[in-house]
Amino acid sequence: MIPNTFRSVIAKRLSGPVGSSQRLQWISIAALVIVLALMWLLTWQRLRAEAALLEKNAELQQRSLAAIIAENLAQVVDRSRLMAVTVDHSADEDQSSASARLTSMLASDRIFLRLALYDSALNRQSSSSPFADGPEIKAFLQRVGNSTDDLLATDADVQVGPLLKENAWQVPLLVSAPNGHPPQSGYLLAMLDLGYFLQLYRNIDMGTTGSIHILGLDGVEIAEARPEGLSLSQQPRRLPQFAPANSSEGLWRGVLPGHEGEQLARFQRVERAPFIVAVSRGMQEIHSNGSSLRVWGILGSLSFILAAAAWGLVRSTRRQQTLLEALHASDEEKRELIVHLESETTRAMTLASFDHLTGLHNRRMFNEIAASHLEGARRSRKHYMLMYLDLDRFKLINDTLGHHVGDKLLRAMSERLRSNVRSSDVVGRMGGDEFAVLITSLDRPEDMDALASKLVAQLSLPYLDIDGHEIKASPSVGIASFPRDGHDVTTLCRHADAAMYESKRMGRGRFTYYNASQNPTNDRILQLERQLPIAIDKDELVLHFQPKVDLADYRITGLEALVRWQHPDHGLVYPGDFIASAEKSGLIVQLGDWVMKACCIQQAQWKAQGIPRVPLAFNVSPRQLRDGSLATKIAQLLQDHDLSPGDLEIEITENCLVEPVDQAVKVLEDLRKLGIRIGLDDFGSGFSSLSQIRDLPISTVKIDRSFINDIRSHKDVGVIVTSIITLAHGLQMRVVAEGVELMDQLVQLKMAGCDEVQGYFLSRPVHSAEAEKLLVQATIVPT
């Protein structure tokens, strides 16, 4: 049995966690998604603010740088102007001293590489370099010359020439010197070393994408300085975005030719000089100060870890769920198995406790229940009795009418038994045709008489239609009283059983109370048992002889020798009082030897007297048959008394044929070989059937006297006797009916085809002198 608490624990364990863990799982995942989304959102916002700040910083940085460069460039141009004025003051100098003067000026300012002085018609007057002007300078001067009026007329007193290709990074500045002695005004050509100028900013951190652009006012780029060095394009490019018409400075964002990605540029027009300075830097670099990448990296890793953890959680929850489901399934299976086991156990208990045929308690259960009743009985003033019932001649009914009839009879009998006792009484089938009833709580012991009589009467009523048969079967009942006849179930059963045998002995279909005198502990029985060995030695035993008569012609066919004990105190004692104990003690062998010898002496005597002889049968007990030397002994006796095997016959009972049967069968075979005829005594009172003995060397079957007793009164007994006779004849056996007391019985037996009869009706067992007379008379005709 499974305790209910255990069941509920299993149920809780199964129903609870599976559902709630699934809910918990979804809640955890949703919470995780929300947390991650918030984290990403906040980080994005923070990084956006950071990016804006970075941009702002970059912008400021670029603004200052552009302003510094513009100012420096303006100063450079201012210096060129100053030089122009200075040179112009000494215009009246000769050419060589002017050149020397220019050279010395040049030496004091490294930003210029060459200085040359031109008159107003742009003819070179003096130069710090002895070399003539190159074609590019000439072209520039030509161009300026063509627009001299404009140049001088305008505010733009400085003209910027093209970047010289042959001398990299040199930019010619043509500065007018108008403050001389008109019309002797002229021009100073200063070759600005833009490379040197820009190199001054090489230590400024512009990042890897930053660059400084120097442009003319028309937006044409003159030079660009990048961290890797200065660069200039072969074909000057225009960057109009840095030279808008409406503003002198500004911020620009866009893709610059020659650069990758978007750039942020600050441009500023140089005051007092025809230049525009622009400082640019890649947006990507501005933003990639590393922190955002790190933040995204950390956030990404964190998200990955959390997602992995969530995935792990989901997986483990799923696994747990799968395990729980498996556990659930296995628990379910177990539960079913337990239920199955319980039902099997109950079934097994039922099978183990009840007799499958009748539904009554079996022996084990009867003993248990009866024992518990007796426990209560010790404290009760009521009376308890144990009845043992045996169905008379059941074995034979089984053998002759079939087992299915026997089973049905047992069922009908047990139903009748159950319905004739109170529900408080305990009824059990002890095996075969034996039943036990514990009668509980009787007010007076005398009440048992009425109950037992009623039971015997009811159970003896014919059983109508048992598989088409009407069967009359009486019970033999023995009763033992608690606590007088026993304090426990075993003792009570044994004594009730003994009483039941007494009922059988007394003619069946009756009840008998256990009487201590049936018990071998009885003084007389004990005394006889003790005295028997001496009695044999003292020759106190005598033989009486009972004739068997052929039903065809009433001729005496044989005599049966029956032993008696001529006891000095108790008178003639019958074998019923000493054979059983002799059998038990083993003295039966000695007793049997005496009987055999006495039979031989008697036969030899009759032989010697010339009395007509018939086979003299004597009874042999199971122990004698197991002795093995029986045949040898008989052969010796025959020889000693000069008798032939036909002079003797032996009678065995079914008890001789119980296991181990081999030894008995061997002795029987030896006896047959010797020529001794063997009869099976009391047939029908025991367990054997004719089919069981068919292969044994048995020549005669003696039907038990209980059948003969009932042959007239019970129809089915007549059927049984007739069947036995028919079957025995089929096996070439003669049939003797014993215990014939009435003429009617004799007639019935004759009609049934019985061969011989034996019984008080023809002759009681008689002593030898009487037997002698009968032998002489040779026949006993019934009268």
Point out which residues bind ligand C2E (CB under 6 A): 546, 562-563, 574-576, 579, 592, 595, 618-619, 621, 651, 681-682, 705, 738-741, 759-760, 765
Q: How far is the CB of 360 from Mg ion (least distance, A)?
A: 33
For ligand C2E, the closer of residues 50 and 741 by Cβ is 741
User: Among residues 449, 453, 420, 450, which one has the least CA distance to residue 437?
Assistant: 420
Q: Can residue 193 be called a binding residue for Mg ion (CB under 5 A)?
A: no
Binders of Mg ion among residues 324 to 383 (CB under 5 A) are none
Write down the least CB distance from residue 709 to ligand C2E, Å.
8
From the list 32-40, 192-200, 262-270, 619-627, the region that binds Mg ion by CB under 5 A is 619-627
Q: Cα(178)–Cα(180) distance, rounded to whole angstroms?
A: 6
Beta bridge partners of 427: 437
Q: Which does 563 bind (CB under 5 to 8 A by kind): Mg ion, ligand C2E, none?
A: ligand C2E
Stretch in the footprint of Mg ion (CB under 5 A) among 377-385, 651-659, 667-675, 706-714? 651-659
Quick one: 327 or 542, whose CB is closer to ligand C2E?
542
Question: What's the min distance (Å) between Cβ of 719 and ligand C2E?
Answer: 22
Q: Any contact of residue 583 with Mg ion (CB under 5 A)? A: no
Choice between 425 and 682, CB closer to ligand C2E? 682
Measured over the CA atoms of residue 516, residue 519, residue 521 and residue 526, the dihedral's sign is positive
Could you say which of 649, 651, 654, 755 contacts Mg ion (CB under 5 A)?
651
- Residue-wise over 714-731: b if at least 16 C-beta within 10 A, else e? bebbbbbbbbbbebbeee
Helices 662-674 and 630-640 pack at an angle, to 10 degrees, of 20
Output 172 or 759, the one with its CB closest to ligand C2E: 759
Q: Is 425 in the site for Mg ion (CB under 5 A)?
A: no
Tell me, letter by letter, the H, E, C secondary structure of 168-198. CCEEEEEEEECCCCCCCCEEEEEEEEHHHHH
Choices 24-32, 151-159, 160-168, 648-656; region in contact with Mg ion by CB under 5 A = 648-656
Q: Could you tell me which residues are beta bridge partners of residue 452?
A: none
Kind of pairing, strands 170-177 and 186-193? antiparallel
Nearer to ligand C2E, 198 or 579 (CB): 579
Among 433, 529, 681, 772, binds Mg ion (CB under 5 A): 681
The whole-angstrom separation of Cα 33 and Cα 170 is 63
Residues 23-62 that bind Mg ion (CB under 5 A): none
d(CA 638, CA 635): 5
- Residue 93 or 741: which CB sits closer to ligand C2E? 741
Identify the DSSP state of 22. Answer: H
By a kind-dependent CB cut-off of 5 to 8 A, residue 473 interacts, out of ligand C2E, Mg ion, none, with none
The strand pair at 426-431 and 383-391 is best described as: unpaired
Residue 759 CB, shortest distance to ligand C2E, in Å, is 3
Q: How far apart are CA 589 and CA 425, in angstroms?
A: 45
Provide, rounded to whole angstroms, the least separation between the CB of residue 575 and ligand C2E: 4
Contact of residue 579 among ligand C2E, Mg ion, none (CB under 5-8 Å per partner type): ligand C2E
Q: Least distance in Å: CB of 740 to Mg ion?
A: 12
- The nearest distance, CB 563 to ligand C2E, in angstroms, is 4
What DSSP designation does 676 have?
A: -
For residue 649, state whether it binds Mg ion (rule: CB under 5 A): no
CB closer to ligand C2E out of 159 and 621: 621
* Contacts by residues 257-265 (CB-CB < 8 Å, ≥ 24 positions apart): 258/233, 259/209, 259/211, 260/209, 261/209, 263/209, 264/55, 264/58, 264/59, 264/62, 265/62, 265/213, 265/241
CB of 627 to ligand C2E, least distance (A): 12
Question: Which one of Mg ion, ligand C2E, none is in contact with 486 (Cβ closer than 5 to 8 A by kind)?
Answer: none
Report yes or no: 268 and 66 within 8 Å, Cβ to Cβ: yes
Left (φ > 0), alpha (ψ -120 to 50) or beta: where does 759 sit?
A: left
CA pair distance 455, 437, nearest whole angstrom: 11
Identify each DSSP E strand in 285-432 by its residue range: 383-391, 426-431
Structure tokens at 530: 């003790």
> Among candidates 181, 194, 162, 167, which has minimal Cα distance to 80?
194
Looking at the Cβ atoms of 421 and 563, the one nearer to ligand C2E is 563
Q: Which residue is nearest to ligand C2E (CB)?
A: 759
Nearest CA-CA partner of 383 in 485, 511, 459, 477: 485
String marking each residue 720-759 x if it binds Mg ion according to CB under 5 A: ------------------x---------------------
Q: Choose the contact partner of 282 out of Mg ion, ligand C2E, none; CB within 5 to 8 A by kind.
A: none
Residue 576 C-beta: closest distance to ligand C2E, Å: 5
Stretch binding Mg ion (CB under 5 A), from 120-128, 139-147, 348-356, 616-624: 616-624
CB of 583 to ligand C2E, least distance (A): 7
Nearest to Mg ion of 498, 652 (CB atom): 652
Q: Of 177 and 396, which CB lies nearer to Mg ion in the complex structure?
A: 396
Cβ closer to ligand C2E: 171 or 664?
A: 664
Smallest gap from Cβ 681 to Mg ion, in A, equals 4
Residue 653 within binding range of Mg ion, rule CB under 5 A: no
Which of 354, 724, 233, 744 is closest to 736 using CA atoms? Answer: 724
The footprint of Mg ion on this chain (CB under 5 A) covers a number of residues equal to: 5
| CB closer to Mg ion out of 583 and 738 | 738
CA proximity to 451, closest of 421, 409, 483: 421
- 712 and 745 in contact (C-beta within 8 Å)? yes
Q: What is the DSSP string of 743-758?
A: HHHHHHHHHHT--EEE
Closer to ligand C2E by CB, 285 or 681: give it: 681
Which residue, 114 or 393, is less far from ligand C2E as judged by CB?
Answer: 393
Residues in the chain: 783
**Shortest distance (Å) from residue 652 CB to ligand C2E:** 9
Query: Is residue 682 at the binding interface for Mg ion, with CB under 5 A as the rule?
Result: yes
d(CA 541, CA 572): 9
| CA–CA distance, 530 with 157 (Å, rounded to integer) | 172
- Which of ligand C2E, Mg ion, none interacts with 574 (beta carbon under 5 to 8 A by kind)? ligand C2E
Q: Which of 724, 716, 725 is nearest to 468 (CA)?
A: 716
Element (H, E) at 221: strand 221-226
Residue 765 contacts which entry, Mg ion, ligand C2E, none (Cβ below 5-8 A, type-dependent): ligand C2E
| By the rule CB under 5 A, 224 interacts with Mg ion | no
Neighbours of 119 (CB within 10 A): 14
CB of 545 to Mg ion, least distance (A): 12
Residues 497-536, mask of contacts with Mg ion (x by CB under 5 A): ----------------------------------------
State which of residues 128, 619, 709, 758 lies at the interface with Mg ion (CB under 5 A).
619
CB of 454 to Mg ion, least distance (A): 32
* Cα 78–Cα 83–Cα 86 angle in degrees, nearest 5: 125
Instruction: Choose among ligand C2E, Mg ion, none what residue 157 binds, the Cβ cut-off being 5 to 8 Å by kind.
Output: none
Q: Which two tokens stand for residue 169?
A: 């990074």
CA atoms of 579 and 12, how far apart (whole Å) = 74
| Smallest gap from residue 580 Cβ to ligand C2E (A) | 9
Of 285 and 651, CB closest to Mg ion? 651
Residues near Mg ion (CB under 5 A) are 619, 651, 681-682, 738
